[in-house]
Chains A and B, each alone.
Chain A
Amino acid sequence: MKLSQVALLVAAAGGCCVGLWALQRTADFGFGNDDSPTNVKAEFYWSRLAYSSNMEGAGYGGGWGHRGWYSSWSRDYPKADRQFLIAMHRLTRIDGRPYEQVVTLDSDEIFNYPWIYAVQVQNWSFTDAEAKRLREYLLKGGFLMVDDFHGTDDWQDFMNGMRQVLPDRPVEDLQSGDEIFHTLYDIDDKMQIPGEQYVWTGRTYEKDGYQPKWRAIRDDKGRIIVAICHNMHLGDAWEWADDPNYPETFASMAFRVGLDYIIYGMTH
């Protein structure tokens, strides 16, 4: 190769580098940069965690894809999310995007969404890198709400994943007086919030999850970083809130709990 060709190549490469650098310095490169109607920029994004499924733990309603569209993370998605966001918009001053956001643990993009919601967490599984990222997310100030898992086996499967993320932090039962139930609404009397199956079975529980468990994991300063809704299904309550057969009592309670949890996550 002639010297002039080498020089030309170097100059071209240099030009590319300068151009890239200039783009990085000046371009509008932030998250939520897509101005499509489903991606309006907002303060709060309802962020649903799309986790990798544990195939063995896959049970009712999902788990037949690793992280497919109909995997267990996407139960009630997106109707539950959107109906909840409608309520949030009406009942609070939060500037929230009316459409949900799906987040994963594959990249640091999750740190742009300090509040995430996960369902069917008995099916979740993490690589070491994913567990580390979620641990850092929570310790930096992120907030995780988990929902829609039932009974003893689901709890064990959920904790298998949780122990990968936070090995030593205890799980505690929340009391009615805990601050998380009094941020927007004072929720002193809580009930088990059933899934849609209540409409045709009349049962409020699934599997052997007879009692609702309002639980949490806290950080070193006592702030809740993981809010656990075990033996209940708030997502279904939001999703079927417009179904005349689904009792309004359960739906209202689910909305109030969800809003309290969000306000808590945005204030603590």
Chain B
Amino acid sequence: MFQFLFKYPSPVFTKGRFVLLGSWPAWLLVVFILAAMGGLAFLIRHRLRDAAPKMKSWRAWVIWGLQSALVALILFLLWEPAMIVSELSSQQNIIAVVVDDSRSMSIADSDGKTREAAALAALEGGLLAGLRKRFQTRVYKLGSSLTPIKDGAPSQPIAPVEPATHISDGLKQLAAETSDLPVGAVLLLSDGGENTAAADNSGISLDALQALRNRRLPVHTIGFGAEALAHDVEIEDVSVAPHATANARVATTITLMQHGYAGQKATLIVRDGDKTLAAREVELEPNGRLQTEELFFPVGAAGAKRLTFSVEPLAGEENLANNAVTRPILVSDAKRRILYVEGEPRWEYKFIRRAEDDDPTVQVVSMLRTSENKIYRQGISDPAELSEGFPVRPKDLFGYSGIIIGSVAADYFTPLQQELLREYVDRRGGGILFLGGREALSDGGWAASSLNDLLPTFLPQGTHNFHRNPATVELTSAGVDSPITRLLDDKEKNADRWRKLTYLADYEDAGSPKPGATVLAEMHAGHRSLPLLVTQSYGRGRTAIMATGGTWRWQMSEALGDPSHDLFWQQLLRWLVAESPGPVTATTPQRLLMDEGHVQLAAQVRDHQFQPAADAHVAAHIVGPAGIDALVEMTPSEETPGLYHAEWTAEKPGAYLAEITAESADATPQSLGSDVLTFQREDGVAENFHTEQNRHLLDQLSAETGGRYWKPSELANLPRDISYSEAGISVRNTKELWDLPIVFLLLLALPITEWLLRRKWGVV
């Protein structure tokens, strides 16, 4: 129909450029049209006084509009309108036909046929023949890479067995390999499944788009497969920390989407091998909506683990392979040592120590001032530790992963020690927790100390801010979401549990939180509401205030066996030390390698003073599946002192563990430390996910490159329309518009409409 009215196919108008071929300037056309419209308006208005009464209304202006349109159209034609469009020269160009042969193309959801069969049927049912009448063709198959098919007959060598689809990489490869060939367009037959990591799971990589744009190559896409599965639940993403401490309760966020089961119940499960770690029933949200659920699970004993996060299959699901994903997680039982400095014997000290007795991953080393000149030490590793009091050398202090400062006045620390504390947080990246107390915070003179800016609050003035009066506690909204204050998994129940906790034995006014600080819990003492637990980041580390010395009542006055006190302190102290880096910190940008094995390792190495160790000897010992055992030397970065890099390829799918060790480069090498990380290569797994046709990606790819998305049922005009391209060898054709059938129809329709209206109104 379009071509009947407009003479040319739609690409002429969408891809071409409109011009006026007449020698008179375009602005004159506008002037003429406006003059004609003004003249007609004047004429009609002038004659209106003698016209029939019926015409003295809006009817006159309808007539004026029709006459003006007719005059404007005639004037427009006098200026000789036309479209200039580039067309591929016949038989001089190549059309690259790319057929997706990944495993997802084997899904039989195209009128009873597999997607692959439907694609091949489309090609061999006339599409390829139609293209070959006008162009040369080259046929490629696309899986994890692009492979040309020699004889150009696609049916034989193409089978949907490739474990992955890398559309971005394939198109980039095509653009590069055909740079000296007159490729006029690319025709991609695919379901749009894209597994390239760099594609951000949703689109074509910018590199690939740039390569296609540089060649002006339009990509025409033909989509196969249903755009939404009728009955399916899919795990879209799982977010879980790559490290955890032994026996910790770890939070994970599972994102899922479903079609066909809205409102039904499904069970989310976390497994370690065959052992179920946690399970929770959730109600499924409406079709096609991303649903995020939080789940907590006990991570168990130390070791490198592959955990499976799944949703139990529902009746009638079309794809069960997308119900589970695995994630590597490294569970460590390494003890993190915390130095607890307490200025006076008090119950809080005792009960914090008792809480940490039950935490296998944290060891509290404490120094308690029992009398003016005596210090009682607990948890020390050798008799010399802390025998001289609080450390004065970085080497001695920076070995601790966290510090607790109890009821200790600021002037107990020398200026050197105060500076050391600042360095400890700022440079070493450690955490300091300040407790409330008789000689703590403002009552201990910290407001006037040089360490005031370490604190997460503006301390109040004066020294009578510590009170041995009760205070009840309540979580803030930030506290409700924080893992530090999570006593119960359910957020509402957890907030309620905090409200019902027995009162604190004492409290201290810690002032107001500084910008950037987070108040996790508040106290209510009489009519006052005061911050109880405040955290903030400082430099590379973190500081916090717990403005009381009276949480011990949570242990003594709650029921026997109530875990609230111990759990809270274990979580708070784990937070305090969790991000404190060791002397060697190993990282990799990608722990999950999908269908490829290239992995980058990096390690930040520091010496005993926690200064970057630029001349260390750093190596990664990698152990993987099927006996893979490799030693990779890491090379120092030229830009960042103390940073070391290595690249390696994991040849086989499975879980890998890399231990990075650093030694000083002296004549007698000394160990600087080590760190461990895990990564995992998965082949063919991504292909099981997002198995519905990714129409968005195909649309985006064609729109960004100047092509078009086609449905398999609309391919008749494709060989003709594909020829409007600026790539390859093309010529610019001028398509005149004066003889469009639509123009003649309008020339007739406008006066006839006026005549019919006049007849109807009786004013002929």
Chain A residue nearest in CB terms to B471: A30
Interface-facing stretch out of B196-204, B339-347, B669-677: B339-347
Interface-facing stretch out of A78-86, A133-141, A228-236: A133-141
Interface-facing stretch out of B98-106, B321-329, B368-376, B643-651: B368-376
Count of chain A residues near B, Cβ 8 A: 37
A108 touches B557 (CB 8 A): yes
Cβ of A42: which chain B residues have Cβ within 8 Å of it?
Answer: 468
A41 touches B468 (CB 8 A): yes
B252-275 Cβ-contact flags toward A at 8 Å (1 or 0): 000000000000000000000000
B344 touches A43 (CB 8 A): yes
Top 8 nearest A-B pairs by Cβ distance? A30-B470, A41-B468, A93-B344, A111-B556, A266-B345, A136-B560, A111-B557, A43-B346
B354 interface hit (Cβ, 8 Å): yes
B643-674 Cβ-contact flags toward A at 8 Å (1 or 0): 00000000000000000000000000000000
A32 interface hit (Cβ, 8 Å): yes
Count of chain B residues near A, Cβ 8 A: 36
From known contacts A41-B468, A43-B438, A91-B371, infer whether A266 and B556 are also in contact, taking CB-CB under 8 Å.
no
Chain B residue nearest in CB terms to A138: B560
Chain A residue nearest in CB terms to B470: A30
Interface-facing stretch out of A4-12, A21-29, A52-60, A199-207: A21-29
Q: Return 14 A-B CB contacts under 8 Å, by A number.
A: A26-B527, A28-B470, A28-B526, A30-B470, A43-B345, A114-B347, A114-B350, A136-B560, A183-B376, A184-B376, A263-B345, A266-B349, A267-B350, A267-B368
B503 interface hit (Cβ, 8 Å): yes
Cβ of A268: which chain B residues have Cβ within 8 Å of it?
Answer: 350, 353-354
A29 touches B369 (CB 8 A): no
Partner of B376, one of A32, A136, A140, A267: A267
Say how far B370's CB is from chain A's closest CB, in angstroms.
Answer: 5
A175 interface hit (Cβ, 8 Å): no
B689 interface hit (Cβ, 8 Å): no
Say how far A209's CB is from chain B's closest CB, in angstroms.
Answer: 31
Cβ of B470: which chain A residues have Cβ within 8 Å of it?
Answer: 28-30
> B-side interface residues toward A, CB under 8 Å?
343-347, 349-351, 353-354, 357, 368-372, 374, 376, 378, 438, 468-470, 472, 503, 505, 524, 526-527, 549, 552-553, 555-557, 560
> A-side interface residues toward B, CB under 8 Å?
25-30, 32-33, 41-44, 91-95, 108, 111-112, 114, 136-137, 139-142, 183-184, 221, 223, 262-263, 265-268
B505 touches A30 (CB 8 A): yes
**Which one of A30, A93, A266, A268 has the greatest number of beta carbons of chain B within 10 Å?**
A93
Chain B residue nearest in CB terms to A27: B526
* Complexed CA–CA distance, A91 and B524 (Å): 36
From known contacts A92-B371, A93-B369, A184-B376, infer whether A141 and B556 are also in contact, taking CB-CB under 8 Å.
yes
Q: A184-B374, A267-B376 are in contact. List 14 more A-B contacts (CB 8 A).
A: A26-B527, A32-B468, A43-B549, A93-B372, A95-B438, A183-B376, A221-B357, A223-B354, A262-B345, A263-B370, A266-B346, A266-B347, A267-B378, A268-B353
Partner of B351, one of A139, A141, A263: A141
Say how far B32's CB is from chain A's closest CB, in angstroms.
Answer: 84
Cβ of A111: which chain B residues have Cβ within 8 Å of it?
Answer: 553, 556-557
**Which one of B354, B472, B527, B552 has the greatest number of beta carbons of chain A within 10 Å?**
B354
Chain A residue nearest in CB terms to B560: A136
Chain B residue nearest in CB terms to A40: B468
* Complexed CA–CA distance, A221 and B472 (Å): 31
* Complexed CA–CA distance, A28 and B349 (Å): 25
* Complexed CA–CA distance, A111 and B503 (Å): 13
Say how far A27's CB is from chain B's closest CB, in angstroms.
Answer: 8
Say how far B700's CB is from chain A's closest CB, in angstroms.
Answer: 58
Cβ of A137: which chain B residues have Cβ within 8 Å of it?
Answer: 556
Cβ of B351: which chain A residues have Cβ within 8 Å of it?
Answer: 141
* Complexed CA–CA distance, A223 and B470 (Å): 29
Say how far A252's CB is from chain B's closest CB, in angstroms.
Answer: 16
* Complexed CA–CA distance, A38 and B557 (Å): 24
B370 touches A93 (CB 8 A): yes
B349 touches A114 (CB 8 A): no
**Which one of A140, A142, A221 has the greatest number of beta carbons of chain B within 10 Å?**
A140
A141 touches B555 (CB 8 A): yes
A112 touches B371 (CB 8 A): no
* Complexed CA–CA distance, A243 and B350 (Å): 36
Partner of A114, one of B357, B468, B556: B556
From known contacts A112-B553, A267-B349, infer whether A93 and B354 are also in contact, taking CB-CB under 8 Å.
no
Cβ of A265: which chain B residues have Cβ within 8 Å of it?
Answer: 350
**Which one of B343, B470, B552 has the greatest number of beta carbons of chain A within 10 Å?**
B470
Chain B residue nearest in CB terms to A41: B468
Chain A residue nearest in CB terms to B437: A43
Cβ of B472: which chain A residues have Cβ within 8 Å of it?
Answer: 25
B370 touches A184 (CB 8 A): yes
Cβ of A26: which chain B residues have Cβ within 8 Å of it?
Answer: 526-527
* Complexed CA–CA distance, A91 and B371 (Å): 6
Say how far A19's CB is from chain B's closest CB, in angstroms.
Answer: 15
Say how far B659's CB is from chain A's closest CB, in angstroms.
Answer: 33
Chain B residue nearest in CB terms to A113: B556
Cβ of A139: which chain B residues have Cβ within 8 Å of it?
Answer: 560
* Complexed CA–CA distance, A112 and B438 (Å): 18
A140 touches B560 (CB 8 A): yes
Say how far B18's CB is from chain A's closest CB, in angstroms.
Answer: 76
Say how far A181's CB is from chain B's closest CB, in angstroms.
Answer: 13
Say how far B464's CB is from chain A's closest CB, in angstroms.
Answer: 13
Cβ of A95: which chain B residues have Cβ within 8 Å of it?
Answer: 344, 346, 438
B345 touches A267 (CB 8 A): yes
Cβ of B374: which chain A residues have Cβ within 8 Å of it?
Answer: 184
Chain B residue nearest in CB terms to A29: B470
Cβ of B368: which chain A residues have Cβ within 8 Å of it?
Answer: 267
* Complexed CA–CA distance, A32 and B353 (Å): 25
B557 touches A93 (CB 8 A): no
Cβ of A136: which chain B residues have Cβ within 8 Å of it?
Answer: 560
* Complexed CA–CA distance, A170 and B103 (Å): 68
* Complexed CA–CA distance, A32 and B467 (Å): 12
Chain A residue nearest in CB terms to B558: A140
Chain A residue nearest in CB terms to B438: A95
Partner of A141, one of B343, B354, B372, B378: B354
* Complexed CA–CA distance, A95 and B342 (Å): 13
Chain B residue nearest in CB terms to A268: B350
Cβ of B378: which chain A residues have Cβ within 8 Å of it?
Answer: 267
* Complexed CA–CA distance, A28 and B505 (Å): 11
Cβ of B369: which chain A residues have Cβ within 8 Å of it?
Answer: 93
Cβ of A142: which chain B residues have Cβ within 8 Å of it?
Answer: 556
Say how far B726's CB is from chain A's closest CB, in angstroms.
Answer: 76
* Complexed CA–CA distance, A140 and B370 (Å): 23
* Complexed CA–CA distance, A29 and B371 (Å): 32
* Complexed CA–CA distance, A141 and B552 (Å): 10
Say how far B324's CB is from chain A's closest CB, in angstroms.
Answer: 40
* Complexed CA–CA distance, A42 and B509 (Å): 18
A92 touches B370 (CB 8 A): yes
Say how far A130's CB is from chain B's closest CB, in angstroms.
Answer: 15
Partner of B556, one of A30, A112, A263: A112
* Complexed CA–CA distance, A91 and B472 (Å): 34
Partner of B469, one of A30, A141, A183: A30
Cβ of A108: which chain B residues have Cβ within 8 Å of it?
Answer: 557
From known contacts A263-B376, A267-B376, A267-B378, infer whether A140 and B371 are also in contact, taking CB-CB under 8 Å.
no
Chain A residue nearest in CB terms to B559: A136
A93 touches B560 (CB 8 A): no
From known contacts A41-B468, A95-B438, A140-B560, infer whether A114 and B552 are also in contact, taking CB-CB under 8 Å.
yes
Cβ of B346: which chain A residues have Cβ within 8 Å of it?
Answer: 43-44, 94-95, 266
Chain A residue nearest in CB terms to B468: A41
Chain B residue nearest in CB terms to A132: B560
* Complexed CA–CA distance, A94 and B350 (Å): 13
Cβ of B556: which chain A residues have Cβ within 8 Å of it?
Answer: 111-112, 114, 137, 140-142
A30 touches B370 (CB 8 A): no
Cβ of A140: which chain B residues have Cβ within 8 Å of it?
Answer: 555-556, 560
* Complexed CA–CA distance, A104 and B136 (Å): 101
